[in-house]
């Protein structure tokens, strides 16, 4: 579904050029949930923006369902880290979710249905007519997720979506993502700096080096498919995987 | 309980009207001493006689009409030009010094110039108002569009929001706090220019009438004119605030939520 | 560097446009002389003593009026801000007087002072007073009540409370007020000269227009624009100087 081949990104400015990503090659199969972790400043956001078609790449290629990415692909949605800035403050929750659908010219009855279903799936039916800034941070991120879900994407990109919410909310949102992923069969690429989160959510975890970025490891997470916060996180295997990734990242930081 | 409520209302009344009443009383006390300062009663009488007459239709309403026409034109022009300039860094870098220069010209000096180019009738007066109002609107629009949130811009791109919808739902709304700030500055400049444009070679309008009273030493009438201009200024600024509160309700709400 | 080049290109474009339009006959040269002639006239004017005298008068009216308004507004603002109840009592009056366009006072100024510096000062002071006052009121309201109570509990006198707590907190607001007032004051100074005939740049423009010296009108308007830029730049420089130590400015620069 998602193929990244020898992706390279160099930031050019008149005085100097900075190599952010050296070479990345990996793919994400249809319906897979893959997490990307790496030390801070390793170009995770650059990678995600390149895949999303928001940033021109310096070399290599990104393909979504076989089609090379040159701009934002039509059936891809992104949930940004800055929930407070990715929602339109002058629109209600409902209008925020509805706007992309209007732009896609989804007929009105279907549109209303999608909005209703997606808000229901994130548990925000009652907040539909509120403005985003009247909601808590976690609820705002739910709105952003509902907007992505209503868009009916093939691929959902998430850029450290829960980095700015408190621990309890974060656990709830992680389970929400798992539930939506199972129900919708959507392909998800989830970028995070939190190793626990990556292991808990992912079927695979891709570990990145520090900048200029290469892939350190592409790790299959062999935990039971059914996950929940308490039992999954207390499995011995969970601890092993987490320790393994932690060690790789430590090494990546020292190598710098 | 009841006394308390009444007491509170009393305090409010005193706060609202206490000082104005004192000031009018003070005015009344000193008014006899100077030829140039008639007492409030005479001014009030002159106000009724002067402005509740055909002058409303001959002078006051045409003046306000020109102000609103010029203001509306300046808004269309300022926002219309400000959006593309704000969206394009290159255009902005090119035009910035030119715009800074035009903004720095005190608008009233354009009156003699525009009289030369457009005569002394309504078009000149409207043009004067446009030429003064357009700069704060334009520059604030540029600033507002330039400072649009990047994450929101990415969101628009990602979800295929483009063209007219992007302009209406994202660019104009996102820049609206700045645009409103520009419109507020433009409003006070517009009133100034409305008056000044009528003080030159004019035969009607508020500015003309007030200067005429002054030349004919109709002092009470002159004061009533000053009072009328004050009331117009106050009314327009209250109207503006009303509109602003509506347009920017999300902005104040979001600001309060953040604080 | 690149920005500078673009900016220069923009200015060059404006000059070229102003040169071409009258030369090509799109607008009658009598009404819009070519840019070269406007600038030539300006250069010619700049070597005359009258122009510098007029410029001096304008700057004097601007600076003096601004200074008077500033002192009055700061004093009034601090007193209104810190004396309990005064703010509420004056609110309606301030809100009524503030939107009165200062040009409404033109006839009064003409009666009282005629075409002289006094007229300029009346208009300039009235217009700039409100700009500063409003900002001072915001600034005094921004004083942290806890800090204020702390100062009181340590027995600081009213004067040292103002000196060490209220004034430093309000200073950024005061400077904003000064910046806004400076621009308004310049507009009103020129207006008084233009409309009432007080000596200065505005009066020169009026004279030039009456005698049909069109290039001179344009040249003086360009000069007024340049002075306006100078006024804005000077006040901004002052603002940065005065506030360089201020935490609000430093954190703004840091982010």
Q: What is the value of ipTM here, to two decimals? A: 0.85
Q: How far is CA B43 from CA A217, B17, B22, in A?
A: 88, 19, 17
Number of domains in chain B: 1
The residue that leads in pLDDT, A46 or C153, is: A46
- B107 lies in a domain? yes
The mean pLDDT value for B24-36 works out to: 81
The mean pLDDT value for B132-151 works out to: 93
Instruction: Name the pTM for this structure.
Output: 0.87
Q: How many other CB atoms are found less than 10 A from the CB of residue B91?
A: 16
Torsion of CA B69, B235, C113, B128, to 10 degrees: -10
Residue of A nearest to B149 (CA): A85
In this predicted structure, the answer to whether residue B1 has a pLDDT above a threshold of 80 is no
Q: Which residues of B touch A74 (CB under 8 A)?
A: 160
| CB-based burial label for A186 (10 Å; 0-12, 13-18, 19+) | buried
Q: Which residues of B touch A86 (CB under 8 A)?
A: 151-152, 154-155
Closest partner residue to B151 (CB to CB) among A53, A77, A85 is A85
**pLDDT above 90 as % of chain A:** 66
Cβ contact B191–C224 (<8 Å): no
Cβ contact C205–B112 (<8 Å): yes
Residue of B nearest to A148 (CA): B159
What does the alpha-carbon distance between residue A76 and residue A52 come to, in Å, rounded to a whole number? 8
Buried-state track B141-155, b at ≥16 Cβ within 10 A, e below 16: bbbbbbebbebbbbb
- Return left, alpha or beta for A107; rule: phi > 0 is left, psi -120 to 50 is alpha, else beta: beta
The mean pLDDT value for C60-88 works out to: 91
Question: Sorting pLDDT into bands at 50, 70 and 90, what band is C255?
Answer: very low
Residue of B nearest to A157 (CA): B158
Q: Which residues of B touch A137 (CB under 8 A)?
A: none
Greatest C-alpha distance within chain A: 56
- The pair of structure tokens assigned to B84 is 């593309």
Question: Sorting pLDDT into bands at 50, 70 and 90, what band is C55?
Answer: very high
To the nearest whole angstrom, how far is the Cα of C155 from the nearest Cα of chain B?
30
Torsion of CA B67, B72, B77, B80, to 10 degrees: 160
What does the alpha-carbon distance between residue C36 and residue C34 come to, in Å, rounded to a whole number? 5
- B19 lies in a domain? no
Chains adjacent to B (≥3 CB pairs closer than 8 angstroms): A, C
Q: What is the pLDDT of residue C250?
A: 43
- B164 lies in a domain? yes
Q: Which residues of B touch C187 (CB under 8 A)?
A: 106-108, 189, 192
Q: Convert the pLDDT of each residue in C162-219 to its tens digit.
A: 888 888 888 888 998 998 899 899 999 999 999 888 899 999 998 998 888 899 999 9
CB pairs under 8 A between A and B: 69
Residue B174 touches partner C, C-beta closer than 8 Å: no
Q: How many other CB atoms are found less than 10 A from the CB of residue C206?
A: 21
In which domain, by residue range, is B82 found?
46-248
Domain ranges of chain C: 49-254
Residue B108 touches partner C, C-beta closer than 8 Å: yes
Cβ contact A89–B251 (<8 Å): yes
Chains adjacent to C (≥3 CB pairs closer than 8 angstroms): B
The DSSP-derived string for C161-219 is HIIIIIHHHHHHHHHHHHHHHHHHHHHHHHHHHHHT--SSHHHHHHHHHHTT-HHHHHH
- B114 lies in a domain? yes
DSSP letter for A69, please. P
Interface of A with B (CB under 8 A): 49, 52-54, 71-72, 74, 76-78, 80, 82, 85-86, 88-91, 99-100, 102-104, 131, 133-134, 147, 151
Q: What is the pLDDT of residue C59?
A: 93
Residue at token pair 């992309």: A100
CATH of the domain at B136: 1.10.3720.10
Question: Sorting pLDDT into bands at 50, 70 and 90, what band is C252?
Answer: very low
Is residue B148 within 8 Å of residue B171, measured between CB atoms? yes
What does the alpha-carbon distance between residue B161 and residue B168 come to, in Å, rounded to a whole number? 11
Cβ contact C89–B18 (<8 Å): yes
The mean pLDDT value for A74-91 works out to: 90
Tell me which CATH homologous superfamily contains domain C49-254.
MetI-like (1.10.3720.10)
Cβ contact B160–A134 (<8 Å): no
């Amino acid at each position: 579904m998602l193929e990244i081949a020898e992706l390279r990104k160099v930031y050019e400015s008149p005085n100097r050029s900075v190599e952010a990503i050296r070479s990345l090659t990996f793919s994400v199969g249809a319906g897979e949930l893959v997490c990307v972790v790496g030390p801070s400043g390793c170009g995770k956001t650059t990678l995600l923006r390149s895949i999303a078609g928001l940033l021109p790449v310096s070399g290599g290629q990104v393909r979504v369902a076989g089609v090379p990415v040159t701009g934002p692909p039509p059936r891809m949605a992104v949930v940004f880290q800055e929930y407070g800035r990715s929602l339109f403050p002058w629109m209600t929750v409902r209008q925020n979710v509805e706007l992309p659908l209007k732009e896609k010219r989804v007929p009105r009855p279907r549109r209303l249905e999608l909005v209703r279903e997606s808000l229901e799936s994130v548990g925000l039916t009652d907040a539909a007519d509120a403005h985003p800034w009247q909601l808590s941070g976690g609820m705002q991120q739910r709105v952003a997720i509902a907007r992505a879900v209503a868009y009916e994407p093939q691929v959902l990109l998430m850029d450290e979506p829960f980095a700015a919410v408190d621990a309890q909310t974060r656990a709830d949102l992680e389970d929400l993502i798992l539930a939506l992923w199972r129900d919708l069969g959507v392909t998800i690429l989830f970028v995070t700096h939190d190793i626990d989160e990556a292991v808990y959510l992912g079927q695979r975890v891709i570990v990145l080096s520090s900048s200029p970025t290469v892939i350190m490891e592409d790790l299959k997470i062999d935990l039971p498919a059914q996950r929940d916060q308490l039992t999954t996180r207390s499995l011995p295997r969970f601890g092993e995987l987490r320790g393994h990734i932690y060690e790789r990242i430590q090494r990546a930081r020292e190598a710098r | 309980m009841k006394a308390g409520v009444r007491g509170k209302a009393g305090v409010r009344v005193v706060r609202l009207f206490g000082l104005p009443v004192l000031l009018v009383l003070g005015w009344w006390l000193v008014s006899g001493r100077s030829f140039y300062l008639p007492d409030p009663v005479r001014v009030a009488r002159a106000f009724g006689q002067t402005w509740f007459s055909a002058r409303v239709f001959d002078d006051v309403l045409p003046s306000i009409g020109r102000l609103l026409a010029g203001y509306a034109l300046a808004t269309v022009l300022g926002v219309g030009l400000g959006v593309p300039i704000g969206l394009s860094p290159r255009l902005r870098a090119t035009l910035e010094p030119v715009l800074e220069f035009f903004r720095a010209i005190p608008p009233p000096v354009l009156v003699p110039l525009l009289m030369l180019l457009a005569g002394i009738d309504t078009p000149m007066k409207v043009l004067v108002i446009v030429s003064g109002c357009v700069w704060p609107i334009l520059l604030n629009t540029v600033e507002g569009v330039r400072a649009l949130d990047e994450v929101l811009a990415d969101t628009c791109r990602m979800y295929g929001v483009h063209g007219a919808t992007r302009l209406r739902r994202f660019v104009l709304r996102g820049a609206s706090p700045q645009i409103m700030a520009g419109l507020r500055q433009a409003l006070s400049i517009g009133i100034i220019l409305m008056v000044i444009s009528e003080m030159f070679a004019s035969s009607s309008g508020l500015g003309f009438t007030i200067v005429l009273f002054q030349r004919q030493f109709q002092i009470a009438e002159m004061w009533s004119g000053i009072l009328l201009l004050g009331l117009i200024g106050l009314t327009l600024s209250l109207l503006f605030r009303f509109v602003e509160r509506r347009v920017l309700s999300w902005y104040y709400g979001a600001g309060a939520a953040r604080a | 560097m690149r920005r500078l080049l673009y900016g220069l290109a923009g200015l060059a474009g404006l000059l070229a446009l102003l040169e071409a339009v009258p030369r090509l006959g799109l607008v009658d040269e009598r009404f819009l002389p070519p840019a070269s002639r406007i600038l030539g006239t300006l250069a010619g004017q700049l070597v005359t003593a009258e122009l510098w005298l007029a410029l001096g008068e304008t700057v004097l009216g601007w600076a003096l009026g601004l200074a008077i308004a500033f002192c009055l507004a700061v004093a009034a603002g601090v007193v209104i801000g810190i004396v309990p109840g005064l703010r509420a009592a004056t609110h309606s009056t301030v809100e009524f007087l503030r939107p009165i366009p200062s040009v409404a006072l033109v006839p009064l100024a003409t009666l009282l002072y005629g075409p002289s510096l006094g007229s300029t000062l009346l208009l300039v002071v009235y217009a700039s007073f409100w700009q500063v006052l409003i900002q001072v009121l915001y600034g005094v309201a921004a004083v942290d009540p806890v800090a204020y109570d702390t100062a009181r509990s340590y027995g600081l006198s009213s004067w040292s409370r103002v000196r060490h707590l209220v004034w430093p907190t309000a200073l950024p607001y005061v400077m904003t007020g000064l910046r806004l007032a400076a621009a308004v004051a310049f507009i009103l100074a020129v207006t008084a000269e233009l409309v009432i005939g007080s000596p200065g740049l505005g009066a020169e423009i009026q004279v030039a227009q009456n005698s049909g010296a069109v290039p001179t009108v344009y040249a003086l308007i360009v000069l007024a624009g340049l002075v306006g830029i100078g006024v804005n730049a000077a006040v901004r420089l002052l603002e940065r100087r005065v506030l360089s130590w201020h935490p609000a400015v430093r954190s703004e620069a840091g982010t």
